[in-house]
């Protein structure tokens, strides 16, 4: 095929509206998502304010777009959603059934789903490494399947825990993104799904051994935080978090955090390839760099959105968009760090090890902004400490 033919293809696709490329499967998926959203709205709209109804509408459209863009989620989200609905139905409005109903106790209650998620992510990490070191496509496929299953368990945890909060009391229930235990599970879900997308997009499973390491580190924190601090117990929201802003600010933030963590682990992989270590087993040096760039670009976009949403939340709660609180200051440092990373790559044309090291160090900066500020620096956001 000639270069001119290759160049003409994108132009012909861009010349017609995107909906002309939609197939029957695309329309059926959209209809299914709209049907489920309609059922949710019909059942729960009385308990939802206008902002929550707008979030439901936005999430519905976003899921449809994601399903059109990434075909694999057409199976993943319906299956995980049905399992979550099964867990909710098994409760029958009685929280005590979580300790007596077999499937709730051992699989579908939120804490059971969280423990399954932890086990599956640990197993996926080990199997990814086995597949990488033995060059086994079978082990890599099994590891990918385990990662999908772990992400599915996280989705079940999310919706069942949300419901369990309302079973405790209408004033207790809230979207589970309010404390470190909840957001670390959200981090595992987002990071693993982002990795699975890139795994499919670049047709290689050999980056999973590195990316799943950071997910397993988060899982280790979740287990420690659960058994040492009993953090899995559902608590009422503190006044500072009783805002609908939390429901959009926190998830957007964690798309950013997940992207930056993924990029940092790929930076480690790229540096090893540059030294000749595992070079014959990992994807090409340039491929790893390209995935790292795309992850940081997505993360920067969502972190920017989250920062803007955080400023609007601050104005609503404290009367000002910016107060140079330590959390705000370090969020700005993180934003400037990745803005500079993208600038030198896109404008200056930098490539190679310097950007890989920058991505690795960037994760340390981001981790301090997320955890260290709350632990060591007093401010308006000090309620998020360990």
- For 144-153, the pLDDT digits (tens) are 999 999 999 9
pLDDT value for 171: 86
The mean pLDDT value for 13-30 works out to 77
Helix 285-318 and helix 246-274, axial crossing angle in degrees, nearest 10: 160
Flag whether pLDDT at 11 surpasses 60: no
Mean of per-residue pLDDT scores for the chain: 91
Task: Report how far apart, in Å, the C-alpha atoms of 261 and of each of 47, 167, 257, 295 are.
Answer: 36, 35, 6, 9
Flag whether pLDDT at 209 surpasses 70: yes
Q: Are 111 and 164 in contact (CB under 8 A)?
A: no
pLDDT band at 239 (very low <50, low <70, confident <90, very high): confident
The mean pLDDT value for 72-81 works out to 95
- Check residues 374 and 304 and name the one with the higher pLDDT: 304
Task: Report how far apart, in Å, the C-alpha atoms of 170 and of each of 48, 163, 166, 173 are.
Answer: 12, 10, 5, 6
In angstroms, the CA 340 to CA 346 distance is 10
Q: Please report which helix (H) or strand (E) contains residue 112, including its range.
A: helix 110-134
- For 58-69, the pLDDT digits (tens) are 999 999 999 999
CA dihedral angle for residue 279, residue 284, residue 286, residue 291, rounded to 10 degrees: -110
pLDDT band at 16 (very low <50, low <70, confident <90, very high): low
Q: Which of 80, 139, 74 is nearest to 108 (CA)?
A: 80
Flag whether pLDDT at 57 surpasses 90: yes
Q: Coil, helix or strand for 326? A: helix
What would the two tokens of residue 70 be? 């990434």
Q: No. of H helices and E strands in the chain?
A: 14, 0
The mean pLDDT value for 110-116 works out to 97
pLDDT band at 8 (very low <50, low <70, confident <90, very high): very low
pLDDT value for 382: 62
What would the two tokens of residue 297 be? 């670009």
- Check residues 48 and 146 and name the one with the higher pLDDT: 146
pLDDT value for 5: 38
pLDDT value for 2: 39
In angstroms, the CA 335 to CA 366 distance is 9
In angstroms, the CA 386 to CA 371 distance is 8
Q: Are 243 and 177 in contact (CB under 8 A)?
A: no
- For 152-196, the pLDDT digits (tens) are 999 999 999 999 999 999 889 889 999 999 999 999 999 999 999
* Chain mean position to CA 178: 15
Q: Which of 299, 309, 286 is nearest to 356 (CA)?
A: 286
In angstroms, the CA 120 to CA 156 distance is 14
- Check residues 280 and 1 and name the one with the higher pLDDT: 280
Cβ–Cβ contacts within 10 Å for residue 351, how many? 15
pLDDT value for 43: 85
Cβ–Cβ contacts within 10 Å for residue 232, how many? 19
pLDDT value for 14: 47
The mean pLDDT value for 287-312 works out to 97
pLDDT band at 242 (very low <50, low <70, confident <90, very high): confident
Flag whether pLDDT at 213 surpasses 80: yes
The mean pLDDT value for 303-315 works out to 95
The pTM of this model reads 0.92
What would the two tokens of residue 186 be? 């959200």
In angstroms, the CA 44 to CA 33 distance is 16
pLDDT value for 12: 45
- For 86-97, the pLDDT digits (tens) are 999 999 999 999
pLDDT value for 10: 45
pLDDT band at 47 (very low <50, low <70, confident <90, very high): confident
pLDDT band at 240 (very low <50, low <70, confident <90, very high): confident
């Amino acid at each position: 095929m000639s270069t001119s033919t290759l160049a003409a293809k994108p132009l012909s696709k861009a010349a017609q509206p995107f909906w002309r490329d939609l197939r029957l499967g695309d329309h059926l998926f959209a209809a299914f998502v709209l049907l489920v959203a309609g059922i949710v709205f019909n059942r729960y709209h009385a308990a939802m304010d206008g902002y929550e109804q707008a979030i439901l509408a936005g999430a519905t459209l976003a899921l449809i777009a994601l399903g059109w863009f990434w075909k694999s989620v057409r199976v993943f989200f319906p299956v995980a959603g049905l399992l979550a609905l099964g867990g909710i139905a098994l409760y029958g409005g009685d929280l005590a059934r979580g300790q007596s109903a077999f499937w709730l106790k051992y699989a579908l209650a939120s804490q059971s789903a969280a423990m399954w998620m932890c086990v599956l992510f640990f197993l996926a990490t080990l199997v990814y490494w086995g597949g990488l070191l033995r060059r086994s496509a079978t082990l890599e496929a099994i590891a990918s399947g385990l990662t999908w299953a772990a992400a599915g368990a996280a989705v079940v945890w999310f919706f069942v825990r949300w419901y369990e909060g309302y079973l405790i009391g209408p004033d207790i229930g809230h979207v589970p993104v309010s404390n470190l235990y909840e957001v670390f599970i959200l981090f595992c879900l987002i990071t693993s799904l982002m990795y699975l997308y890139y795994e499919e997009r670049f047709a290689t499973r050999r980056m999973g051994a590195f990316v799943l390491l950071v997910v397993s580190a988060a899982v280790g924190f979740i287990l420690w935080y659960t058994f040492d601090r009993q953090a899995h117990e559902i608590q009422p929201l503190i006044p500072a978090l009783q805002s609908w802003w939390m429901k959009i600010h926190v998830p957007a933030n964690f798309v950013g955090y997940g992207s930056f963590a993924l990029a940092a682990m790929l930076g480690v992989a790229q540096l090893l390839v540059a030294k000749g270590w595992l070079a014959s087993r990992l994807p090409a040096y340039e491929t790893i760099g390209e995935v790292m760039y795309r992850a940081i670009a997505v993360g920067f976009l969502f972190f920017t959105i989250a920062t803007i949403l955080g400023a609007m939340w601050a104005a609503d709660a404290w009367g000002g968009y910016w107060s140079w609180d330590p959390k705000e200051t370090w969020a700005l440092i993180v934003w400037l760090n990745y803005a500079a990373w993208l600038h030198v790559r896109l404008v200056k044309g930098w490539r190679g090890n310097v950007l890989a090291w920058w991505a690795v160090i960037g994760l340390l900066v981001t981790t301090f902004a997320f955890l260290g500020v709350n632990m060591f620096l007093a401010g308006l956001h000090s309620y998020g400490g360990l």
